[in-house]
Amino acid sequence: MQEADFDFYSSHNQPPVLEDYNSFTSNRILKDAAHAYGADWIHPQAVKFGAAMGSSGMQQAGFLANKHTPVLRTHDRFGNRLDIVEFHPAYHEMMDVSINAGVHSIAWSANKYGGYLAHSVLSYLKQQIDEGTSCPLTMTFAVVPSLRINPEIADAWLPLALSDKYDPRHIPWYDKNGLTFGMAMTEPQGGSDVRTNTTIAAPAGGGIYYLTGRKWFCSAPMSDAFLVLAQTSGGLSCFLVPRFTPDGVKNKLYFQRLKDKLGNRSNASGEVEFHGAWAQLVGEEGRGVVNIMEMVRHTRLDCAVGSAATMQRALAEAVHHCSYRQAFGATLLNQPLMRNVLADLALESIGATVLAMRIAKGFDDALQDEQSNHFIRIATPVAKYWNTKRAVLALAEIIECLGGNGYVEESILPRLYRDVPVNAIWEGSGNVQALDVLRAMEKEPASLTALLQYFQAEKGHHPLLDQHLTKTEKLLTSNPGPLQAREVVTAIALAIQATELIHIAAPAVAALFCQSRLAPNNSAGWGCLPTDNMDLLLQTIAYAFQHQ
Ligand SMILES: Cc1cc2nc3c(=O)[nH]c(=O)nc-3n(C[C@H](O)[C@H](O)[C@H](O)COP(=O)(O)OP(=O)(O)OC[C@H]3O[C@@H](n4cnc5c(N)ncnc54)[C@H](O)[C@@H]3O)c2cc1C
């Protein structure tokens, strides 16, 4: 070739950008789970929303909102307090599309079986464009049960909380077309152990209090109201703290600074002080933890859903890349070892997806069935623990599938890699989830009974699952202590994943999950699936992602 013929201006053997695809229809396990768990009715809406979330416009919005991060303006130029956070228009665009689609509200407004599942499907799709905006959406979804504790609060706030209109204006909540919510529990001296909270609530009569204190983390600071924990003479209590008082005056919440975070950068997380902030008691004094836990129970579901979604989003990039990229004479997807790696990651992704969706179904069932309520008491912290931890591990391997491209910001993977650990930390970190499972087993024995009955009913499907269930039953009934808590949670998570995959996925794919996750000497590393069946590996990958 002559020097003059050298092509400096186009690259070869690079894949096209993964955009303008449908993140719902390309995800077989998600479609099959929605169908199997009884929320088929969400299908048309999910197809529409999946197309929107896979569009180049929404993908671009995710990039922009994470590049142009929120800015706190504490004062105006004359020294007056403002306490507002400014977001890039792309942030508002993503919030607008999501709220219009009912990501935050469908669980409550569907009025038919499968509301939680529908919410989880939409949340899963939404998470794939941007993790940061999922935070205010989740809190707005999850606050509803806590607001319902006081009928007076519910009557006043719920119609706007469930509105499908996004209204980011900084004005009193009762003049708005739609609301968003946040929460503030964590203080400098303790986040997991909220009993150490020192924020004080002084009663002013009629359920109104004035709060003085400081919170170390308060995300989505432009929310219209926050659930806040503070001490009263009756003990730690839960309060609704709006940004504006009922007479339309800016409430005495002062945001000091925004955290400079590893990821989750499109979302703002502030430190806030309350200098006699107007607050309304939620429930009774002294019931603060119980009442805010109603919200946290729901945010934990979303953490499990969100981590499954991020893993799947990353995996889609890897499968897409490897379907085009050639090395050593074949596409990477056709290189046996890469196919093994991708299939193993696909098993992780579909396992996480069915686990999250099965918990969502449990929430739906629990509305009419006490047994399911007991089941999700343990299964929710299990899924929160497992999905959020496994996603962090999977992301590191997924990045490598794209080689150097995966390490470059334009590929989205560095952002997903930075975003994904937060789900493991907030809403109760890993150890806290594992210890919560032990607490439930001890203090609410009906939850353990429900889980054991679930296991019992699932025997006989696969010998490795049978062995695992028997081993897990022994572990659970041996009075395990904190040193075994992670072992307990891991065993339960794998049992539910394998069981549900057996019900939903092709038998050979589910069997591969059992062989690779439940066999006594299974490998610790990715890409060691015990099969030489290349077609089965491809079939497994297609469960997680297949470009339509
Ligand atoms: C980006 C971001 C946004 C956030 N937004 C909010 C928000 O909006 N509102 C809010 O209230 N909080 C928020 N948080 C705070 C978050 O919920 C807490 O960081 C989390 O609950 C952990 O509390 P901590 O940081 O005080 O850690 P600690 O409570 O000190 O825990 C540190 C570690 O110790 C472990 N641990 C705790 N107890 C035990 C035990 N008994 N045995 C063994 N291990 C234990 C924990 O699992 C954790 O790994 C946010 C955090 C982040 C990172």
Q: Give 134's pLDDT tier (boundaries 50, 70, 90).
A: very high
Backbone angles phi, psi at 402, to 5 degrees: -90, 5
Sort 112 into a burial class: Cβ within 10 Å, 0-12 / 13-18 / 19+: exposed
Other Cβ atoms less than 10 A from the Cβ of 69: the count is 17
Sort 461 into a burial class: Cβ within 10 Å, 0-12 / 13-18 / 19+: middle
Tell me how far the alpha carbon of residue 367 lies from the centroid of ligand 1, in angstroms: 30
Identify the pLDDT of residue 1: 65
What SS3 state is found at 455? helix
422 close to ligand 1 (CB < 6 Angstrom) = yes
360 pLDDT exceeds 90? yes
Amino acid at 400: E
438 close to ligand 1 (CB < 6 Angstrom) = no
Q: What is the mean pLDDT of residues 17-32?
A: 98
Amino acid at 476: L
Give the domain ranges of the chain. Answer: 28-161, 175-287, 290-544
39 pLDDT exceeds 90? yes
Tokens 């066999």 locate to: 519
Q: Whose CA is nearest to atom 45 of ligand 1?
A: 431
269 close to ligand 1 (CB < 6 Angstrom) = yes
Q: What is the mean pLDDT of residues 218-245?
A: 98
What SS3 state is found at 214? strand
Q: In which element (H, E) is residue 385 found? A: helix 370-401
Reference 136, options 104, 176, 114; nearest CA is: 104
Residue 322 to residue 153: CA distance in whole angstroms: 53
pLDDT digits (tens, 9 = 90+) for 416-436: 999 999 999 999 999 999 999
Residue 230 to residue 253: CA distance in whole angstroms: 14
Tell me how far the alpha carbon of residue 427 lies from the centroid of ligand 1, in angstroms: 7
113 pLDDT exceeds 80? yes
Q: Are 315 and 344 in contact (CB under 8 A)?
A: no
254 pLDDT exceeds 80? yes
Residue 207 to residue 373: CA distance in whole angstroms: 31
Overall fold of domain 290-544? Butyryl-CoA Dehydrogenase, subunit A; domain 3 (1.20.140)
Q: Phi-psi bin for 248: left (phi > 0), alpha (psi -120 to 50), beta?
A: left
Tell me how far the alpha carbon of residue 191 lies from the centroid of ligand 1, in angstroms: 5
- Report long-range pairs for 158-167 (Cβ below 8 Å, ≥24 apart): 161/104, 161/105, 162/104, 162/105, 162/108, 162/109, 163/99, 163/105, 164/99, 164/100, 164/101, 164/102, 164/105, 165/99, 165/100, 166/92, 166/95, 166/96, 166/98, 166/99, 166/100
Q: Give 514's pLDDT tier (boundaries 50, 70, 90).
A: very high
190 close to ligand 1 (CB < 6 Angstrom) = yes
- Count of residues in the chain: 548
ipTM given for this complex: 0.99
Share of the chain above pLDDT 90, in %: 98
Torsion angle of alpha carbons 191, 192, 196, 200, nearest 10°? 50
Token pair listed for 412: 């989205």
Tokens 């968003």 locate to: 180
Helix axes 89-101, 56-67, angle to 10 degrees: 130
Torsion angle of alpha carbons 308, 311, 314, 315, nearest 10°? -100
Q: What is the mean pLDDT of residues 26-37?
A: 98
216 close to ligand 1 (CB < 6 Angstrom) = no
Q: Give 547's pLDDT tier (boundaries 50, 70, 90).
A: confident
Alpha-carbon distances of 501 from 153, 412, 459, 461, 492, rounded to whole Å: 42, 29, 14, 11, 14
CA-220 nearest atom, ligand 1 = 8
218 close to ligand 1 (CB < 6 Angstrom) = yes
Identify the pLDDT of residue 5: 87
Tell me how far the alpha carbon of residue 196 lies from the centroid of ligand 1, in angstroms: 13
pLDDT digits (tens, 9 = 90+) for 431-481: 999 999 999 999 999 999 999 999 999 999 999 999 999 999 999 999 999
Identify the pLDDT of residue 362: 98
CA-218 nearest atom, ligand 1 = 8
223 close to ligand 1 (CB < 6 Angstrom) = no
Tell me how far the alpha carbon of residue 486 lies from the centroid of ligand 1, in angstroms: 17
pLDDT digits (tens, 9 = 90+) for 175-224: 999 999 999 999 999 999 999 999 999 999 999 999 999 999 999 999 99
Tell me how far the alpha carbon of residue 189 lies from the centroid of ligand 1, in angstroms: 11
CATH (one of 3.40.50.300, 2.40.110.20, 1.10.357.10, 1.10.10.10) for 175-287 = 2.40.110.20
pLDDT digits (tens, 9 = 90+) for 363-409: 999 999 999 999 999 999 999 999 999 999 999 999 999 999 999 99
Q: Whose CA is nearest to atom 27 of ligand 1?
A: 191
Test site for ligand 1: of 217, 419, 435, most ligand atoms within 8 A of the Cβ: 217
Residue 245 to residue 252: CA distance in whole angstroms: 9
What SS3 state is found at 205? strand
Q: Are 171 and 243 in contact (CB under 8 A)?
A: no
Identify the pLDDT of residue 522: 79
Test site for ligand 1: of 199, 260, 293, 425, most ligand atoms within 8 A of the Cβ: 425
CA-187 nearest atom, ligand 1 = 26
Q: What is the DSSP letter of 266?
A: T
Residue 544 to residue 506: CA distance in whole angstroms: 13
What SS3 state is found at 25? coil
DSSP notation for 275-289:
EEEEEEEES-TT-HH
Residue 127 to residue 387: CA distance in whole angstroms: 14
524 pLDDT exceeds 90? no
CA-219 nearest atom, ligand 1 = 8
Test site for ligand 1: of 134, 192, 489, most ligand atoms within 8 A of the Cβ: 192
Q: Whose CA is nearest to atom 24 of ligand 1?
A: 191
Q: What is the mean pLDDT of residues 114-137?
A: 98
Residue 89 to residue 59: CA distance in whole angstroms: 14
Tell me how far the alpha carbon of residue 261 lies from the centroid of ligand 1, in angstroms: 14
Residue 121 to residue 135: CA distance in whole angstroms: 16
523 pLDDT exceeds 80? no
Q: What is the DSSP letter of 244?
A: B
Residue 182 to residue 299: CA distance in whole angstroms: 11
Identify the pLDDT of residue 107: 98
483 pLDDT exceeds 70? yes
pLDDT digits (tens, 9 = 90+) for 262-319: 999 999 999 999 999 999 999 999 999 999 999 999 999 999 999 999 999 999 999 9
Tell me how far the alpha carbon of residue 388 lies from the centroid of ligand 1, in angstroms: 14
Q: Are 476 and 448 in contact (CB under 8 A)?
A: yes
Query: Which residues, including other chains, have CB under 8 Å from residue 353's CB and lie 6 or more apart?
Result: 27, 29, 30, 33, 124, 308, 312, 544
Residue 467 to residue 406: CA distance in whole angstroms: 39
What SS3 state is found at 479? coil
What SS3 state is found at 267? coil
What SS3 state is found at 263? coil
Reference 258, options 420, 130, 85; nearest CA is: 85
Tell me how far the alpha carbon of residue 460 lies from the centroid of ligand 1, in angstroms: 40
